[in-house]
Amino acid sequence: MDLIPNHEGGGKQSKLEVKKLTFLEKRWRQDKPFEQRVEFDSFVLCLLVLNPDWTRSQVLVGLNNGCLEEWVLGKDPLKVRSKELHNKGIKCLSSTEDYLFTGSYDGSVRVWDHSTWRAIATLTHHSDAVWDLKTFDRKLVSCGTDGRVCVLNIENESFPIIQMITTEPEIASNLDVSDKFVVTGYDNGNIAVWEAVLNDLRRIHTLEGHTQGVTCVKINQDVLASGSYDCRVRLWNISHGVCLALLQGHKDLVRSLDISHGRVVSGDFSGFLKIWDLTSIIPASTQHIKAIIDDGKPTYEPLVTLGHRSLLTHRGHVTVVKISGESLWSGSREKNVVFQCFMCD
């Protein structure tokens, strides 16, 4: 049973690349990163990293007042532009080469020209607040408090609905996509895994384990990370629908997370960011579950992991977290975005 794929990387690395990775691993584990804090006029609800270059990262920030701001973050922060796009908060962002998509508490998804932010379309396929959206394979998938999961064709300029899945009365609060899967998290603590087949989403798993509402899900290859109001982060094998590990360390509600480059970073309501190293967690959890399967036991408990690094980055509710190999971006209801760079001196 192949539970875990290889993670990013692989292939022969030069001495310079190995030296850089060793340096970065040390910085992520124990050193204080370079930090830059940018203040806003409203709560930060979402963040989209357009360019992760740690010397001058380019980000879009969605605010609770309905405004979108573009910033360049690095040694010298620069505000590029700002525009009011909705009359209520911008809860989620996604983009393609041509389009920028914004989802809002006002119940609409709006489509903008990626370069100019010129309005192209207003989509009203949700009857209540839109909480998350992502683009994949020339499609847009969105979810919201109306319990709907909607798939739209974004190759057609009228953006027709391909599929609408109604899951009410449960709120579909968050989602993520890959080239094979769509994953949706719900207010009842469950997670649905959908296989993307042509123009249809086919439900293949319901992941149960969280005891309160799921607030965030992120896919990395065949591994899913999920966070919840139960103050826990869980790791899952998507193909098999197996919970691999339970990450414990948060003392408050988990609101946001990201998974990339062998790490999970999660943010909670108290302002803490927790950094988890998957290079040790994944092999240990895989061996743990394989041993149980080999023993023929019908049920199992995932590996409980406590080891992590903790950063008190914010003084309030962390609404969004994004990571790259070198950097970390987080936004909060205390009206700021914090950029932390592990390559900067």
Q: What is the pLDDT of residues 24-80, one digit of tens each?
A: 888 898 888 999 999 999 999 999 999 999 889 999 999 999 999 999 998 889 999
Structure tokens at 55: 């010397």
Q: d(Cα 181, Cα 103) in Å, to the nearest integer?
A: 21
Q: d(Cα 343, Cα 341) in Å, to the nearest integer?
A: 6
Percentage of the chain lying above the pLDDT 90 cut: 73
pLDDT given at position 87 = 97
Phi and psi at 290, nearest 5°, equal: -60, -40
What SS3 state is found at 16? helix
Contact 4, 237 (CB under 8 A): yes
Tell me the pLDDT of the chain averaged across its residues.
91
| Phi and psi based region of residue 188 (left: phi greater than 0; alpha: psi -120 to 50; beta: remaining) | alpha
Radius of gyration of the chain (CA): 20
Residue 285 has pLDDT above 90, yes or no: no
DSSP 189-251: S-EEEEEEETTEEEEEEEE---SS-EEEEEEETTEEEEEETTS-EEEEETTTTEEEEEE---S
Structure tokens at 337: 């975005």
pLDDT tens for each residue of 212-240: 999 999 999 999 999 999 999 999 999 88
What is the helix (H) or strand (E) element at residue 80, kind and residue range? strand 78-84
DSSP code of 291? H
Residue 288 has pLDDT above 50, yes or no: yes
What is the helix (H) or strand (E) element at residue 289, kind and residue range? helix 278-294
Residue 7 has pLDDT above 60, yes or no: no
pLDDT tens for each residue of 84-111: 999 999 999 999 999 999 999 999 999 9
pLDDT given at position 16 = 66
pLDDT given at position 168 = 61
pLDDT given at position 197 = 82
- In this prediction the pTM is 0.91
Q: What is the mean pLDDT of residues 120-138?
A: 96
Structure tokens at 253: 């509600």
Residue 187 has pLDDT above 70, yes or no: yes
pLDDT given at position 330 = 98
Residue of higher predicted confidence among 118 and 282: 118
Maximal C-alpha separation, the chain: 60
pLDDT given at position 226 = 98
